[in-house]
Structure 1
Amino acid sequence: METPSKLLLKLSKRLFQNLDDQEKFVEALINPKPFYPCVIWCQDKLEVSPFLVETPTFWQPSFIDRLSLGEKPGQHPLHEQGYLYCLDFSSVFAASVLLKITQHVELVFDMCAAPGGKSILAWKLLQPKLLISNEVIGKRLGMLISNLKRCHISPSIVTSKDSSIFAESIPSSSDLAIVDAPCTGQSLLAKGEKAPGCFHPSAINKSANRQKRILANSARIVSPQGYLAYMTCTYSPEENEEVGEWLLKKFPQFQPVKISHLRDYQSHLTTMPCYRMFPQYGLGAGAFTMLFKNTEEGDKKEVDADKLSAVWMNTKRADMGELEEN
């Protein structure tokens, strides 16, 4: 049995007052267990699923299936054909805040999009007139484009620019901006993966500052009455609740939105509406999520797609159709 680090033990005490909760959290990270595989049905569900499906949570979208242990959807022919996208159920939890958006959505902008799961989920749920998926890290662009292309996500555009460029070039334009923020990735441990230095204070501080910069730029592209979704796959309060509180002070026109279907997951570390999934729950490796609404009045600005310097685009509205590429 692996011995937990002092930094992990310190974090567990910050997150939980109860000793039993602390122990279960630490156990989930040092002795990870498999989680149920999960898929987004990008096309219409088949009448008879080729997979064994678990009982859905009451809040998961109808086009999401949580599968039984042992199912390998990524190896099924339907995966290669673009019928489905595989993801961790924690990502479904985080993105479920988008269920709160009932107004018509014309433009969704995913600021940190690779490998594409949040973009695909938002596209399937909201059916925007345009999806823009941005990924500033060049080596991650290939998988993002591949997934959007394979899953026939249209109309969609992929860009690769720093968030500050969009804050200047397309302010007040997006009905929804998604920031699946870069973080220390502590939940990777719950999946049996490596995350070196993820509990070190300097890494956490660096990550939190980076998140604040990206969120500030992303807030500027949200249209009046639009939404900003913020989520991470890590546990440290400095990268989660404290960043959310910072955003509210920096941009007082943004207000946190209560997500009634996630009330049982309300973070006990703050009274601000925000929600956490921990690995010891058994649903997924862990996530933090919250939704902000821009309460400002005013007009939304249009985006000239031709000026976005897309690295890839598919602007045809044709399910399973041919894709245009740049």
Structure 2
Amino acid sequence: MKLPVSFEEKMKRLLKEEFDAYMDCYKKPRFYGLRVNTRKISVEAFQEICPFPITPIPWIENGFYYEGTAVSPGKHPYYAAGLYYLQEPSAMTPANRLPVVPGERVLDLCAAPGGKATELGAKLKGEGLLVANDISSSRAKGLLKNLELFGIGNLLVLSEEPGHLAQYFPEYFDKILIDAPCSGEGMFRKDKKMVRAWEEHGPDYFSKIQKHILLQAAAMLRPGGKILYSTCTFDERENEQAIEFLLQECPEFTIQAIVPYDGFAEGIPQLSNTQMEDLKKTVRIFPHRLDGEGHYLALLQKREKAFDLSGSPRKSGSLAQKSQRGRVREVPEELISFWQDVNWELSQDRLEIHGEKVYYMPSEVPDLSGARFLRTGLLLGDWKKRRFEPSQAFAMYLKKEDYQKILDFSCADERVRKYLKGETLEVSDLVSPSEKGWYLICVDGYSLGWGKLSGGTLKNKYLAGWRLS
């Protein structure tokens, strides 16, 4: 692989005696990884049912290597059930090292296609709020699909410029992940096209964008909250110097230690203008030190605000009141009828209807009037012509025990692939001819989508845009 001369010279300066070992990694194949969706299945249970060989990624507790040239996990029904996400091993690190706990408000600021956001959503375990944003509306659509596939319901998916987003969420979030747009030097081995992109837009171009994003994120973080900043590049202008810039502009931030791993390298203070020693707490990932591509990570914490004379902490910025538009005063009878087969209680104050769409909202959402959003909350389904049709997103959100009418197929049953292709299924061997209505279709106990049963035949309701070709 031919690398730009200026890039090689930079890496020689950066790595010194490790440069030859780094260059040798280009002679080796890239690594393929998948990350288990712990919202749906435990790591141990997944290892028991995984139909192809996997090997643990040592620094990611729910991450595994697989042989990318030998298997196609993206075509397996377990992928359609949202049991795992395909992701480069090093790219799993940022969301893994951001300490998210259930109930928190979490923002993934540059979230598409969803590799980090899906892990953050799984960590929340259905509690709190995940806001996933990407400035590109087309990329945000792919982001939404991946979050729906993972069964994440406590979410907002937006497509906003970070500066505009900050107007809606002043000092609001407990945790923020910034997987910043970057020059991509760490991905040269994985994708050769990144070299040409680097020659067109290098570190100087991206460092300006990153500084802007960091400042906007800082304004949205509550006092005491944490930001995880990451790039997939090696250049100091996008890494140590970006963090140095934030600390100079926002002195209320401090660098925090990241959970270590033997293959991680320390950040390099000498690459910053001030040579601040705390930059050693940041992490560099090099492909010659572990089995993955290149990354940089920095964990930052915003200082708590001072106490007033009464001893109470000063409150962070307030949010606009939640909009009343769409609020349900009376639950439609059709939804009540459908809900008789759902095994969890519906809170009316979290229901909203916009046009024909019925949503189940997170417990706390600000007024987003004027914002470009693709999804607020969990889409339950469509209410039209005096009937309710449940959505694909709702099916992926439900677990087998959440719904009473189930058709659970073995992974080996040919009807699973027929279902994923959108075909009508004959299921008279599983249910009596008198049974009818909406059924949740599962594979080995994990939801895939809906079907409508009548006379032993299942009308396929798997979302058209998700079907296998």
Interval containing the TM-score (normalised by the shorter chain) = 0.7 to 0.9
Task: Tell me which moved more, 269-278 or 303-312.
Answer: 303-312
Residues 1:189 and 1:210: Cα distance change in structure 2 (over 3 Å):
same
For the aligned residues, what is the CA RMSD? 2.6
Alignment of 1:213-224 (within 5 A): 213-224=212-223
Is the alpha carbon distance of 1:260 and 1:34 closer, same or farther for their aligned partners in structure 2, counting shifts above 3 Å? closer
Question: Which residue in the other structure is 1:34 paired with?
Answer: 30
Asked if 1:320 corresponds to 2:380, the answer is: no
Partner of 1:10: 9
Separation in 2, partners of 1:97, 1:145: 23
SS in 2 for 1:311: strand
**Which residue pairs with 1:134 in the alignment?**
133
Supply the AA of the counterpart residue of 1:299.
Answer: K
Determine if contact 1:94/1:287 at 8 Å carries over to the other structure. no
CA shift for structure 1 position 169:
2.5
**Rg larger in structure:** 2
Matches within 5 A, 1:90-239: 90-99=90-99, 105-127=103-125, 128-197=127-196, 199-200=198-199, 203-239=202-238
Which AA in structure 2 matches 1:278?
A: F
Using structure 2 for the length normalisation, give the TM-score.
0.62
Letter in 1 for 2:268: L
Question: 1:283 offset after TM fit, Å?
Answer: 1.8
In 2, Cα distance between equivalents of 1:313 and 1:81: 22
Residue 65 of structure 1: aligned partner: 64
Q: Per-residue displacement from partner, 1:3-49 (whole Å, max 9, x unpaired)?
A: 4321121121122111xx212223434x4512032223251133513
- Would you say 1:275 and 2:283 are equivalent positions? yes
Q: CA deviation at 1:68?
A: 4.7
Number of aligned residue pairs: give it.
315
Amino acid at match of 1:52: P
Matched with 1:82 is 82
Instruction: Give the conservation status (yes or no) of the 8 Å contact 2:135–2:161.
Output: yes
The answer for the alignment partner of 1:299 in structure 2 is: 315
Sort the Cα spacing of 1:320 and 1:167 in 2 relative to 1 into closer, same or farther, 3 A. Answer: closer
| Higher strand fraction (1 or 2) | 2
1:288 shift after superposition: 0.7
Instruction: Supply the distance in 1 between the matched residues of 2:57 and 2:191 (Cα, whole angstroms).
Output: 25
> 1:56 and 1:139, CA in 2 relative to 1: closer, same or farther beyond 3 A?
closer
Q: How far, CA to CA, are the matches of 1:313 and 1:73 in structure 2? A: 30
Change (3 A) 1:11 1:131: same
Q: Larger relative contact order (C-alpha < 8 A, sep ≥ 6)?
A: 1
The alpha carbon displacement at 1:316 in A equals 7.2
Instruction: Report whether the alignment pairs 1:254 with 2:314.
Output: no
Which of 276, 290, 293 aligns to 2:298? It is 290
Rounded Cα–Cα distance in structure 1 between residues aligned with 2:213 and 2:315: 23
**Deviation by residue 1:38-67 (Cα, 9 ceiling, x = unmatched):** 22325113351313221441x423x33333
Compared CA separation, residues 222 and 105, structure 1 to 2 (3 A): farther
Deviations 1:108-150 (A, max 9, x none): 0111000011111112224441101001012212211111111
Compute the displacement of 1:278 (Å). 1.1
SS in 2 for 1:157: strand
Query: Structure 1 residue 25 and structure 2 residue 22: aligned?
Result: yes
Partner Cα separation in structure 2 for residue 263 and residue 65 of structure 1 = 18
Structure 1 runs of 4+ off > 6 angstroms? 316-319
Q: Secondary structure at the match of 1:238?
A: coil
Distance 1:283 1:263, change over 3 A: closer
Q: 1:263 to 1:245 in 2, by over 3 A?
A: farther
Cα deviation, residue 180, structure 1: 0.4
Query: Whole-Å Cα distance in 1 between the matches of residues 374 and 198 of structure 2?
Result: 35
Q: Does 1:311 align with 2:371?
A: no
SS at the partner of 1:183? coil
Q: Give 1:210 deviation, angstroms.
A: 0.3
The answer as to whether partners of 2:166 and 2:217 remain within 8 angstroms in 1 is yes
State how far apart, in whole Å, the 2-side matches of 1:293 and 1:77 are: 41
1:244-273 deviation per Cα after TM superposition (whole angstroms, max 9, x unaligned)? 111111111111111242475242522411
Please tell me whether the aligned partners of residues 108 and 177 of structure 2 are also in contact (alpha carbons under 8 angstroms).
Answer: yes
The alpha-carbon distance between structure 1 residues 249 and 153, as it changes in their structure 2 partners (threshold 3 A), is same
| CA positional deviation for 1:285 | 1.3
**Alignment partners' CA distance in 2, 1:144 and 1:276:** 27
Change (3 A) 1:67 1:78: same
Aligned to 2:288, the other structure's residue is in SS state helix
For 2:255 and 2:267, the matched residues in 1 are separated by: 16
